[in-house]
Each structure stands twice: as structure tokens, then as C-alpha cells.
Amino acid sequence: MKLLHREDVIEAGYDLPNTGLCANIGQAELEELKFGGEWVLAQDETVVADGHEQRYLYILVAGDVAISKKNDQGNSQQIATLGPGAAFGEMAFLGGGVASADVQALGECILWRFDHERMLEFIGEHGVAGGQLCLNVASILSGRLVEGNKKVLDMGKELQGSLAQLQQAASAGSQKDQALRQMQGKVNNMQNAFKGSEVKKSGSNWLAVAACTVALLSTLGLVGLLLSSDDSVELENASLKSTLKKMEADEEFFTSKKDQMESEISQLEKDGKSLALRNEELAEQMASSESRSMTQIQDLREKLGKTERELSQAKDDLVRAQPASSAQHSPTPSAPVIPAKSKVEEILAWASKNTTLVFPCEIQVSQKAITLQDKDKVASIPVAVGGRLRALSYYPSSKQFIVVAQPNSNKFLATLPITNSTFVEAVKPKYEKYAKGDGAGAGTQLANPLAPRPKPPTRLSSQLPTSGSSVPSKTGFSSTEGEPKVAKGRAKNPQKPENVLDQMPAKPAGGNVKKVDTSDHGANCVCKDCRVSKVGKGGSLFQFDP
């Protein structure tokens, strides 16, 4: 026999029958049962051997099989032939594990089978469908038992008829004995008659001898026939009695198997119900634990948000209170003193404000291994400590975490704490490059190159220098009067007038210019010859006909 793969079964389009063993089972459960067992290809070979171990329950999907049994003389006798949709092997499957008959494949056959472990697993996962499967097995066995009882009754009727024939033969034997005795009496009478005739007529002795010989031979043949008939009747009676005893033993065996199967089916039903109750309890426990977890997560989020708000409020209060405290201790006003932050906090604060410059960036896992998963959470990729990743963005609800992916793909993602990565080391070069211009003068680079540059401070009239002070002339202020005066500058190259082309000479100085025919160029042509022609006539290239 050859086991078939899942792809072969799907390609060939084999399906389990929805009758017999698979009756009243849902389509989804039937599809799982289809690939829960094994698919076998058999061709003119023995599927089940009589007297050997048999631990599978078979369903014939395609082809025919013959069931045969060997008698006491060792000759194989065919009992039945099964077609597609039939099931066999249930007796050995449920009790004993030893086959009671031979099953031979007639040609090419497709079989489906499964063992005890897979059956119990299917019953545990599908309580209702598993119970229905057990009921189907019980129905098949009860049908076989009914057929066996019917055969026993038919054989009992045949035995009763044979016993009636034996009684008739016995009564006929007494009549034959009486007839034999009558015939013997007639033979004796004939002998006596022949004896009497011998005294009277001695010349006819040969006729009397012949008649006696014929009568004697007839009597002996009849006696032999009666004796032989009695022996055959006794042999047949003994054979029928042994057959009847064997059938009674078979009936007791089938009855015990039926009771055993009924007890096993009831136990399986109880196990299925207990498993279903257990599954329901587990589902309820999971639902309750999930709801508790969601509630705890929501509470933690609210506490975290409240803590962040309180921390922000405390920072604001500290900043607002800092100038007042410095004013009390110093006689002159000074700029507010902001508490110094650590280098890491400065880098993280700068990164949170400049995400377009920070992400994406290459980082490494520094402390604890993580696992990347796809969107459907079907496949996962572990990343050990020191593994390279690519940071994509901050986590939406907290900037203490970042979203990471593989270096060359965004299919598998994970959330990673910043403290468990080299994110600060990766951002530090960018911070040092772009953040040096914060608060510096002209010529330095801004933290964000896309942000607008700061405008120069505007001087108010109260900040302008008074009379008598000297101001450089390039600033545009004068000190001769009490108020500032603006110096007007002059452009290096003043703008040409719009009729500059009209003022140009028609011909260049020196030399003759060859005239070119531009009549076919059109009124809007701006080639060199057309420009020279129009300028020479006092026209303009930018004037169009109305």
C-alpha cells in the first residue's frame, strides 16, 4: 500500500462520503476530518490480514474490496464484496486489535483510515461532530449485528426443517422395517412353498433356487440401503448440531461485543461532553482574563497620562518660579536659568522635534532579544542581542518606544524600548551636526534646515542713538540732526528703458550687411534677421497686431 500526500488528494479531488461513517457531520468538520486521517492507495493486495494486528478504521472511497474467511480445512471462502462509501475494520478497531477476516483490494482502490489517537483528538476538538462520529460507528455495528441475527434466524429455520426431515426419515425407517419384515415373511413363505413343491415335483428345483436367490439379494440390498441411509442421517444430524453450537457461540460473542461497544460509546459521549464543558470554561476564563487585562492596561495608561501631565505641570511651575527666585537673590535682573538636562535627554528631546531628520536610522539591539512579527501575527523572526534593525518612527502612544523593522524590509515589525537599543548613539551624530546652530549667531546651521531663518532684531526709536553719537555710514543713520535719516543707495547697473531697441542704429557701424528676405518668416518671427529688419524700420519685437 502507498500513502498519498495532501497535494495528491487535492489534485485528484477525492472527498469523504457524506453517508455511513460520515453521515450528519458538518462540512467544516468533515473537511478537517478529511485531512485528519491517512489516504492510502491499494492495488490487488491484502489490506487487512486475518489474525494479524489491525488498528485502523477504513472507509472505501473508490474501488471494491472482497471480504473472505478461511474454513477449518484452510480454504478461503468469500463472504461479501464492499463498494465505495462502505466502512470496514470497526470490530478490530474498537476491540482486540486483531482482524477476524481477510480484506482484499479488487483492482485499484482509494482508502481513508484513522487510528484511536486521531479519533480521540478529533472528538476533543469537535465535541458535537465527534459524538456524531461515535453514533455513526455504533449505527454501523448495530446494522452488522442485525444482519448477523437475521442470518442466525435463517439458519435456525433451516435447522428446524432438517430436524423435521430427520423425524420423517425416522418414521419412514420404522415403516421400512415393517415392510422389510413383511418382505422377509413373504420370502419365508416362498421358501416354504418351494419346499412343499419340491416334495411333489422334484424336477423343478432350479426354478425354486433362482427365486430364493433373487428374493435374498433383494432383501440384502434393502437392508444395506436402510443402514446406509441411517448412517448419513446421523452424520448430517451431528454436523447440524455442531453448526448450531458454533452459531450460538458466535451470537454470544456478537452480543458481548455489542454491549462493549455501547459502553464505550456512552463513555466517549461522556468524555465529549466533559471536553466541551472544559472548552467553554477555558473560553470564559480567557475572556474574563482578557477583559481584566484590558482594564488594567487602560488604568495604567490613564495613570501614565496623569503622571506625565503632573510632571509637565511641575516642570512649568519650576521654570516660572526660577526667575522670581533669582530676582530675590540678585539686585539686577537677569535671564531665567533653565535646569541643565543630561546629554541623553537633550538628544531625545531634539529627536522628538525633528523626526524627519532622525528616521529612518540603523540601530542595534543592546540588552534583550526581541521578536519581529508580520501584520497577521502568523510568522515571526527572532533578533538576538547585537542584531541590526531599522528604526521607522516613534510608537504613537509613547515616545519611550520606537517601531523597528528589518534593515531591508518593512514586512516584519516590532515595538522596542529606546533603552534596549543604540538609538541615542545613532541619533547623536545628526544631533551634533544639525543642533549646533541653536541660539548661535549668523553663519551657524539651524537645528532644522527646513525651518525659517530668524529675522534680525528691529530697532525701535527708543533704541536709536542720540545726537552727538557716531554711527557708521553703512547703517543709514546720520547724527547731524536729532532724528535718524535714511541714506538712499544707487544701483550699479541701472535698468534700461523699454524702448532701448528703438534707439539702436539700423545698421552696424562699418561694413555692409547683406539683406535677407524675411517675407515668408511671419509677423511674429524672432530670428536674427527678423530682429535686425524690425529694429531697422523702427519697430519693436514686443508689439503685436491687434
- Measure the CA–CA gap between 38 and 449, rounded to whole angstroms: 68
**pLDDT tens by residue, 420-460:** 999 999 999 988 888 765 443 333 344 455 555 555 555 54
Mean pLDDT value across residues 286-296: 86
Residue that wins the pLDDT comparison between 200 and 397: 397
Residue 41 has a pLDDT of 92
**pLDDT mean over 457-466:** 48
Which grid coordinates are listed for 434? 544639525
Give the model's pLDDT for residue 513: 57
Q: Which of 59-73, 145-159, 359-373 is predicted least confidently?
A: 145-159
Question: Distance between terminal CA atoms of the chain?
Answer: 100
**Average pLDDT in the 264-284 region?**
88
* Lookup result for grid cell 522635534: 353
* Complete DSSP assignment for 112-175: EEE-HHHHHHHHHH-HHHHHHHHHHHHHHHHHHHHHHHHHHHHHHHHHHHHHHHHHHHHHHHHH
Q: Can you give the three-state secondary structure of 261-293, one letter per residue?
A: HHHHHHHHHHHHHHHHHHHHHHHHHHHHHHHHH
Mean pLDDT of all residues in 498-520: 66
Q: What's the pTM?
A: 0.33
Which has more confidence, 8 or 233? 8
* CA angle, 86 then 92 then 97, to 5°: 145
Residue 64 has what pLDDT?
A: 93
Q: Does the pLDDT value for residue 81 go beyond 80? A: yes
Average pLDDT, the chain: 74
